[in-house]
Structure 1
Amino acid sequence: MLLVQFCVVNNIIDKLKSKILNIDISKYASSRNFKNGHVSKLSPYISKGVISTKFVIETIFQNKTEYRKSEKFFQELAWRDYWQKKWQMSPNIDVDLSFNQKPVAHRNLPKNVLDANTKISAIDNAIKEFYNTGYLHNHMRMYIAAICCNVGQYHWLNPAKWMYYHLIDGDWGSNALSWQWVAGTTRQKKYIANQENINKYFFTNDKNTFMDKSYENLYSFNNIPASLTHQKTIQLNTILPKKIKPIVDDSKPTFIYNSYNLDPNWYLNEAGNRILLLEPSHFKSYPVSEKVMDFIITLSSQIKDIQIAAMEFNELQDIIKNCNSIHYKEHPFARHYKGIKTERDWIFPDLEADGSFFKYWNKGIKQFNY
């Protein structure tokens, strides 16, 4: 069911291009925050590096789409690049980025959120679906983060790792920094939505929940609801494929793929050893569910003659005699790789994310040719 839902098929790039061209861009801006909104569901393929944000935008404008109609969609893709570039500039995004989160009362996870038992019907139903499918609406992600961090006063890191574990489109940069944005550590402002807002966008009619309060009351941070005081510690583990030594032809270059680079067009016409590297140390620090790992491996099958190596980079390096022939794509999780680095594609390639998003956006859009 999962593989059908997320359209993993032969000629995946052509299929995704067709999917992009069929997005109703004009309805995206007005409906994207609603449960049944017109969203693209391209995120799993972008986060896993099958396609880039640049590819999506170029495809849209090749279709002669008016900029005015596509601006909000364009902006959301730019947010993804912005978080990735913030991550490039930051040695460690697992700590509070610019400001300390406060107040913080808990360091684990709220039990009733994990158990889908908040008594807020939209939240509980979304979490149950999330466990089954790996899909979570972007607006719902913000609601859950706000409940954990700002209502329950849980530090953002462990709840963010729980969400990342289950997300089919998990991207630690966007996920961690979005949680930090909600918790007020990227700026001195927190995000909160009340029950009225949740009811509006998810078509519910809940009343008398712990979120059924005014914004003034919620933003006071005076009292943690009793139902959010029960903490839970969970063990998140990744099931990796069996460790098999890859076969390497030393006369050819070696192209290293990982869970963030599954681009089937990367060096497509060059013969070489193609290896999906799944490092145990990485997945110990940033575990993913069995559904997510299955999705990664299924996507990798679109890359011709790919071999899977569940080992550390230095172990693989010992197998490859000609280390100067190693190619990989730039990514913060690949900082320890050695070899010839390919830069990722960006919408605004020459810009750094050294200020606010809208500073980044306003500079970039002036330079963009569409």
Structure 2
Amino acid sequence: MDFPANLDAVYERIDQFDPERYARTRNFLNGGVSYLSPYLSRGFITVPQVVQRLKDRGIGLEQAEKFIQELAWREFYTRTWFQKGDAIFNDIRHPQEGVLHSGIPVAVLEASTGIKALDSHFGAFFESGYLHNHLRMYLAAITCNVGKYHWQAPASWLYYHLLDGDLASNALSWQWCAGTFSNKQYYVNQVNVNTYTGTGQRGTFLDCDYEDLPMRPVPEVLQKSTQLDLVFTPPATKTPVLQDGVPTFIYTHYTLDPTFHEGETGNRILVLEPSHFAKYPMAPKTIQFILDLAANIPGIQVFYGEYAELNIKGIFRDHPINPHFHGIREEHPSLAPGLPGEFNSFFSFWNKLSKQLR
């Protein structure tokens, strides 16, 4: 699947999307997924904008409920990030059980786990920057719960390569699978893999009943581990030239909406902070995708440096990565702005949100 960095192409993708087919087939690798996640993660489009375009086509909550529910997971994770801060990058509710290894299995990096449906997609992942959500869950189940690795290192590796790498969605999804953000660990067996990937493989370390999986020793193929060295290559940028007497609109790699104060005169700066990328590096392919999306914003200048170095008070959208920004902070786009409270589970959040949407 390709991901064009063009707003009209993204709007066309939304307008051609069939939410009813999505509800029926989304768990299959060839199912009717939206392929909107790289744009949603970057704030290039927002969840409310997607829902509004569906409404403009006459598609209501009843027809699109499953899709909107999946979009709401993104809001739930972002909301948790706002509320918990950096706590989401450690075991958030209780320690991961049964950890025996650190780092990441070499078999994952070399696409040699022996699970053909996974290995074939891992091999292409470095080029595409995209994995179907079911493959991500399989990866987490095999690495954390079958291989007994702590979730943090493999989660960092996945985030590094994903075009749609959202820190909250990534970390909390891994924690949901590893059982540190849920009531139990997520397991998958070979029958499940075969069903949703259209394969018929047998005789693998997953080829057993679900109840047997937690009792089995770590497969030999997953025992060899390595530590990660994720290298970030800074983009070449210049110090922004600012026009006096006009506002300055600030963007980050999570808030790249071209409609943000569209048509207003002002300086426009995409700020990429070295301190952030030192902690959470991204692959060159992902950085280039971000720069290509930013090119849709007329007159934008890219600045690789700390926001404080600009010595300005900009106008920007609120996001968990920019609590230290000074200036005019505008509300983060949400399906349910003002919905109060913290929620212990997604479905407690969804129950309140869905009532508000109706």
TM class by shorter chain equals over 0.9
In structure 2, the partner of 1:70 is 64
Matched residue count: 356
Q: Are 1:356 and 2:351 counterparts? A: no
Distance 1:313 1:8 in 2: 25
The ranges of structure 1 where at least 4 consecutive aligned residues each deviate by more than 4 angstroms after the TM superposition are: none
- 1:1-52 deviations in Å (ceiling 9; x for gaps): x8xx21223xx1x432332121111111111010100011011111000111
In structure 1, the partner of 2:226 is 232
Q: Are 1:7 and 2:4 counterparts? A: yes
How do 1:1-370 residues align onto structure 2 when only pairs under 5 Å count? Answer: 5-9=2-6, 12=7, 14-92=8-86, 93-220=88-215, 222-317=216-311, 323-324=312-313, 326-351=314-339, 352-369=341-358
Distance 2:206 2:267 in 1: 54
Tell me, what secondary structure is at the counterpart of 1:309? Answer: strand
Whether the aligned pair in 2 keeps the contact of 1:348 and 1:364 (CA below 8 Å) is yes
Distance 1:175 1:49 in 2: 16
Give how far 1:356 is off: 1.1
Distance 2:47 2:214 in 1: 35
Structure 1 gap ranges (5+):
318-322
Distance 2:342 2:152 in 1: 22
Whether the aligned pair in 2 keeps the contact of 1:120 and 1:209 (CA below 8 Å) is yes
Give how far 1:298 is off: 0.3
Structure 2 gap ranges (5+):
none
- 1:261-301 deviations in Å (ceiling 9; x for gaps): 11111011221111111111111111111110110000000
Cα RMSD of the aligned pairs, angstroms, is 1.3
Give how far 1:124 is off: 0.2
Tell me, what secondary structure is at the counterpart of 1:332? Answer: coil
Whether the aligned pair in 1 keeps the contact of 2:113 and 2:119 (CA below 8 Å) is yes
Give how far 1:63 is off: 1.1
Give how far 1:181 is off: 0.4
Q: What is the TM-score of this pair, normalised by structure 1?
A: 0.93
Q: Quick one: which amino acid aligns to residue 7 of structure 1?
A: P
Q: Quick one: which amino acid aligns to residue 196 of structure 1?
A: V
Distance 1:259 1:336 in 2: 16
Distance 1:130 1:243 in 2: 28
Whether the aligned pair in 1 keeps the contact of 2:54 and 2:60 (CA below 8 Å) is no
Whether the aligned pair in 2 keeps the contact of 1:256 and 1:274 (CA below 8 Å) is yes
Distance 1:80 1:273 in 2: 30
Whether the aligned pair in 2 keeps the contact of 1:47 and 1:171 (CA below 8 Å) is yes
Q: Report the CA distance shift for 1:353/1:43 in structure 2 as closer, same or farther (over 3 A).
A: farther
Instruction: Please identify, of 339-348 and 289-298, the stretch whose mean Cα deviation from structure 2 is larger.
Output: 339-348
Give how far 1:365 is off: 1.0
Distance 2:120 2:244 in 1: 52
Q: Quick one: which amino acid aligns to residue 349 of structure 1?
A: P
Give how far 1:150 is off: 0.5
Whether the aligned pair in 2 keeps the contact of 1:237 and 1:284 (CA below 8 Å) is no
